[in-house]
Amino acid sequence: MIIVMKVGASAEAIEAAAAVIRARGVEALVLPGEDRVAIGVPASLSVDQKTDLEAALSAMPQVSKVTQTSRPYKLASREFHPDNTFVEVRGVTIGPGHFTVMGGPCSVESYEGFRQAADAVKASGATILRGGAFKPRTSPYAFQGLHLEGLRILKSVGEETGLATITEVMSPDMVGAVAEHVDILQIGARSMQNYPLLIEAGRSGKPVFLKRGPAAPVDEFLLAAEYVLSQGNPHVVLCERGVVPLDRSYVRNTLDLAVVPVLKEHTHLPVIVDPSHGTGVARYVLPMAKAAMVAGADGIMVEMHPDPAHALSDGSQALLPEAFAEMMDELRRLAPYVGVKM
Ligand code: PEP
Ligand code: MN
């Protein structure tokens, strides 16, 4: 941790800041600069100690800035856990060396439509079936999902096809019901900082697929993962799904593919890319799916619908089953060059 004093800070103020540090039983290294003084804290402190010390120092009027030099997450960090994490679900491995494709409609709308989408997912060679039963919609008047009926459809179609299933859970009280019906719990972008939900999902012991909030910095994303991990649940998969765009008239979100190598460096958790929400436009999904593979992602989640024009949510970004199958073919051709199995 580095504490930068204000220009012209008095000797008393510098000593007072150093004393606050030393009172925690750690060394304070006073570093005089050209126009201001910095104080270094070389000792490694726990997350709680750092937060507490940062708050105490930030409150001092002659302190200009307190900077943490090490990352605030621990269980998610590669520094403390160098080996890659692999998440296994129904015989599917999610993690480095495997490119896992999750496909299916944005929402589960009916048994027939969902079964049709699932058959197309299976025939294409993708291994995980997605579909929302609880939909976080911007408008309360938009289709909200089939709720429990959607969960029942997910369970039946998962069993009938043998595909692993994933669906979003929006509230802590629904974690139990959702966990009984599907293999993977999805925490949506809007819920990334719903801490009671993260804790409950962590306690369920089920694999948790955590989507990055549209304006979440990497530290906040990994601290959200830390909430799940700290419940003793190591089965966490991260998902980049696009961040707030500069120009919404072209894309729904800006797919931040650069975050893939950043995450790979700083965390051992698998990283999936969602080019559907990441662009919002069906014809941009294929190029970004290929780019995700090249960037080092461990897989993708892609929305597909048998009849996108009549989809009850996100039709504009949904691939037709044929386009989904073509995407799978192209990815399979690319995989050997990137060194991943499909
Ligand atoms: C979804 O996967 O359908 C979804 C709502 O995604 P996100 O949380 O990324 O917006
Ligand atoms: Mn969607």
The list of the chain residues with pLDDT below 70 reads none
User: What integer pLDDT is reported at residue 70 of this predicted model?
Assistant: 80
Task: Say how many Å lie between the CA of residue 189 and the centre of ligand 1.
Answer: 6
Q: How many CA atoms lie within 13 A of 228 on its CB side?
A: 33
Amino acid residing at 275: P
Can you list the pairs that 43-50 forms with residues at least 24 positions away whose Cβ atoms lie under 8 Å? 44/70, 45/1, 47/72, 47/74, 49/24, 50/1
pLDDT for the residue 44 = 73
pLDDT, position 80 = 87
* Confidence at residue 46, expressed as pLDDT on a 0 to 100 scale: 80
Q: SS3 of 286, please?
A: helix
HSE value, Cβ hemisphere, 13 Å, CA-based, for 31: 12
Q: What pLDDT, in 10s, does the model give residues 61-78?
A: 999 999 987 888 999 999
Strands 2-5, 37-40: parallel, antiparallel or unpaired by DSSP? antiparallel
Identify the pLDDT of residue 71: 83
Distance 90 CA to ligand 2 centre (A): 24
| Ligand 1 neighbours by CB, cut-off 6 Å | 106, 132, 136, 188-190, 211, 241, 277
Q: How far apart are CA 130 and CA 242, in angstroms?
A: 18
Calculate how far, in angstroms, residue 61's C-alpha sits from the geometric centre of ligand 2.
47
Position 170 scores a pLDDT of 98
Cα gap 307→235, rounded to integer Å: 34
Q: What's the order of all strands across the beta sheet hosting 29-32?
A: 29-32, 37-40, 2-5, 63-67
Q: Ligand 1 atom closest to Cα of 136?
A: 5
Question: 152-183 b/e with 16+ CB inside 10 Å = b?
Answer: ebbbebbeebebbbbbbbbebebbeebbebbb
pLDDT at site 305: 98
Ligand 1 atom with minimal separation from the 106 CA = 3
For position 72, what pLDDT does the model report? Answer: 84
d(CA 23, CA 46): 15
Q: In ligand 1, which atom is closest to the CA atom of 314?
A: 3
Q: Identify which of 108, 128, 154, 241 to mutate to test ligand 1's pocket (most ligand atoms within 8 A of the CB).
A: 241
Span from the CA of 100 to the centroid of ligand 2 (angstroms): 19
Instruction: Output the pTM of the full model.
Output: 0.90
Determine the pLDDT at residue 43. 72
